[in-house]
Amino acid sequence: MALLLDELRSADGAAEAGARAWHLAEAMYPLCRSLTGAGVRATLDLIETQGGLPLQRTEVPSGTPVHDWEVPLEWSVRDAWIADAAGRRVVDFRAHNLHLMSYSVPVRRQMTLEELQPHLHSLPERPDDIPYRTSYYREHWAFCLRHRDRERLGPGPYEVVVDSTLAPGHLTLAECVVPGQSDDEILVHTHVCHPSLANDNLAGIAVAVELARALGRSRPRHTWRFIFAPGTIGSLTWLALRPEVLPRVRAGLVLGLLGDGAPLQYKRSRRGDTLTDRAAAHVLAGIEGARLLDFEPYGYDERQYGAPGFDLPVGRLTRSVNGGYPEYHCSADDMTLLRPQALAGALQALARLAQVLDGNRRLLNLSPFGEPRLGKRGLYRSTGGHAPGAFEHALLWVLSQSDGVHDLLAIAERSRLPFETIETAAEALQQAGLLRDLAPGEPAPAFTIPGPQTPKGTPT
């Protein structure tokens, strides 16, 4: 995996991947997505065809119990508009799918402006943008429009039409499983329910696709599972469907809002001290402007994976946070906001983070009584008197700390050397027969000091 992720970490490789991610987001942008329906399925189609990522889909029937929730009815919309007395559409779903509140029930009525006003949403502080609004779990309907257009509306009457259906159907989620050398898993989740919003969350989808494709061309240590599902109800549904996977989860990330110009930010898991948290802190320490955020029970699906009953080690990688940029949840979150270089930077960070999550392990020094001779194994320079170089320094740190208690990430943290350098040193020492892996949960064995060694000392 190291060479492949080195390629993603390079400026040229990341730029190519970032450009592909941007073009995939561009193709997905026009689709009207929601919790359920054709828009989600069409998005998954594009992930497979344009993104080149094979998916395993699951269709979960409406009404299926999901912990304290249930899978909602499937929503479909053919058209929606508000037309004035001359038949001119003053609000038109076909012009922009944010014009219709998601999950609006069907309606066909003649209304005055006074009657219509309670069903209109606009942003006085952003008069040229259309807000994004939903009503998933309460039967309601509404239109969203630019505040400037709302202020121009006359008294009416207006023809109001929502040509939609809410009917028994399915919630669709998809997974891509990259097999590893171990059944232990690392999760990557991204939400696929938002309509034409580029940063939230076409950026997360496109970045996840590129990372999954890259890992798929390797054979990682862990099995990596990428989950593409609608927000909240999607992750809860997956958690209900896959209880046998949960004990094998060693780390996890929720990806979202990764395409704007803000610095990278990592939101810690609920526990705050998991492998994912430690790995993110190590990687982001080397990225200018990057920040660590404490957990809070608001955000995206990290709060479902980290709920007390599951307590999975899942954090979130993002740039801006929910509500943390002016274009959030409105039509200004379009493809002009999405920057290929920001997607590339996220992929570079994820490549390093994946290296740490996948490569971290505990090792046991098989020659712990003093420093083994590295020169005769070709691991140390034959001429003495020199200070050790970075790689030789890493060899010594790994030998010193490989007591079955400290993992490679702990060694990197204490030595202040990059994880990649520590991991490379560990692999060299393993090939020389000086270290062995400890299985997850295997206790660190106690060292037994050997008896007298020959030649025997002579008293003086």
From the annotation, which residues make up the binding site for Zn(2+)?
194, 200, 329
Tokens of 247: 């004990």
Q: At what angle do helices 390-401 and 419-431 cross, to 10 degrees?
A: 70
Q: Please state, in angstroms and rounded to a whole number, the distance separating the CA atoms of residues 315 and 208.
A: 15
Q: Please state, in angstroms and rounded to a whole number, the distance separating the CA atoms of residues 21 and 4.
A: 17
Q: Please state, in angstroms and rounded to a whole number, the distance separating the CA atoms of residues 38 and 125.
A: 33
Tokens of 255: 């990806």
CA angle at 371 for the pair 368 and 376, rounded to the nearest 5°: 115
Q: Please state, in angstroms and rounded to a whole number, the distance separating the CA atoms of residues 250 and 276.
A: 8
Tokens of 428: 């060299």
H/E stretch holding 281 reads: helix 275-284
Give per-residue burial for 253-263: e unless 16+ CB within 10 Å, then b.
bbbbbbbbebe
Q: Annotated binding site: which residue ranges?
A: 194, 200, 329
137 close to 117: Cβ distance less than 8 angstroms: no
H/E stretch holding 66 reads: strand 65-66
Peptide bond into 440 cis (omega under 30): no
First to last CA, the chain: 57
Which alpha helices (H) appear in 142-202, and where do they start and end? 147-152
**Paired residues of 65 in beta bridges:** 70
3-state secondary structure of 363: strand
Which amino acid, one-letter code, is at 215? L
DSSP codes of every residue in 405-428: EEEHHHHHHHHT--HHHHHHHHHH
H/E stretch holding 162 reads: strand 158-167
Which amino acid, one-letter code, is at 333? D
